[in-house]
Structure formats: C-alpha cells, structure tokens
Amino acid sequence: MPTGVALRDPREQLFEAAERILLRAGPEALTSRAVTTEAGCAKGVLHRHFTDFDAFLAELVLAHLAHLGDRATELRQAAGSRTVVANLTEAVIDLFGPVTAALIRLVIARDELRRRLRQARPSGLPIATEVTGMISDYLAAERDLGRIAADADLATLAPTLVGAASLSFTDRESGPPDVAAVGRMVATVLAGVTPG
C-alpha cells in the first residue's frame, strides 16, 4: 500500500511544506511528522534526504539565505534611484516577508539549529546577519554616491534598521506593519544622514 504521493523534487516539496507550516502555525508546530504530512509523503522521505530534522531545518534556512542573496544585487542596483528611504522601505518589506520573519523565529527558538547554522555561517544570528550585510552594502553604495553623509556610521545604522525591522515583522499576532509605518521607521533610523 502506498504511503504517499510521488514527489517531483522531494527536498523542495519538503521545504515548501515547512514554510507553509511556519506561516500557518509558527515554529512550535514544525516537526518532521508535520512536514511530511503537509508534503503528502512518508516520514522516511525526509530522512532519506537529510540526516535528521535539524539538518533539514538548517538546509531550509540556507536555501532561504540563497534566495535573499539574489535580493542583495537588486538592492545595490537601486542605489541612486528614488530616495534612500523609499528604496530601504521597499527592501525591508521584501526582506522581512512572512517566510523570513517565521524563519527568524525558528532560528531563535532552536538551539541545535543555530549551532548547525554557525558551522556554515560562523558569526551572528543567521538571516539577520545576512540582511544586515545587504543593507550595509546598499548604504555604502549610497554614501559613495553622496546621498548619505560621508561620516555616516554604517556599522551602527544597518544593524539598527535590521533590529527595528525584526521586532516589527516577527510579531505573528499583530501582523506585519504597513508601508507607512516601515517608511517612518526607516526615516527615523536614517535621520541626520540623509538630506531632507
């Protein structure tokens, strides 16, 4: 008797199932049984592709980081267009979308997952560290164009913006902030280093 459906790309289907669970019920609902049930496959499928559940979760986060890396190029290319606040408002909303916010909560909640991720990314809190680097690179490009003060402390501005965004976007109960609220947050963090 079959135990599930044929999977076209088991790893990707398992990742998608995990993301749906995270979005629907949060990190506490994410178990190997929940993921395989959501994916419509036998529990053994997950263990054929990953050594254990934390290895699966680490690969899920790393796959998401690869996707965020694509956004880094787009953000850097936005330097010099529109306003710095408008570019960063859009980037923060995009970078801290529902999946990213859910994965940040997952990383914070699971000690073993953080330990494994540190093997691939030795410093900082995974996801938040990468997003901070992306924003810092963008701010540096804007500084080079003269749209941010030459003496702006990017090593403080970028993590301040990421910290504020993390707090705003990871609260599942109230939902994400609206565009105007994100814009105000970005403008406040950048006050004094951008014109106007």
pLDDT at 1: 38
pTM for this prediction: 0.84
**Domain layout of the chain by residue ranges:** 1-49, 65-190
Instruction: Indicate the Cα dihedral angle 139, 142, 144, 148, nearest 10°.
Output: -90
Q: Rounded to the nearest 5 degrees, what angle is found at the Cα of 71, between the Cα atoms of 165 and 12? A: 100
User: What is the pLDDT, as a whole number, of residue 7?
Assistant: 46
Please give the chain's pLDDT, 196 residues, in tens: 345 555 468 889 999 999 999 989 988 899 999 999 999 998 889 989 999 999 999 999 999 988 888 888 899 999 999 999 999 999 999 888 888 888 988 998 899 999 999 888 777 788 888 899 999 999 999 999 999 999 999 999 999 999 999 888 876 566 778 999 999 999 999 998 987 5
What's the topology of domain 1-49? Arc Repressor Mutant, subunit A (1.10.10)
Residue 4 DSSP code: S
Q: Quick one: pLDDT at residue 34?
A: 96
The CATH number of 65-190 is 1.10.357
* Per-residue pLDDT at 5: 52
**pLDDT for the residue 154:** 95
Q: Chain-centre distance of CA 135, in angstroms?
A: 13
Helix 10-25 with 53-77: angle, nearest 10 deg: 80
Instruction: Note every long-range contact of 169-176, with CB atoms under 8 Å and residues 24 or more positions apart, other chains counting.
Output: 169/96, 169/100, 169/101, 170/101, 170/104, 170/105, 172/26, 172/101, 172/102, 172/105, 176/93, 176/96, 176/98, 176/101
Tens digit of pLDDT for each residue in 47-58? 899 999 999 999
pLDDT the model gives residue 72: 87
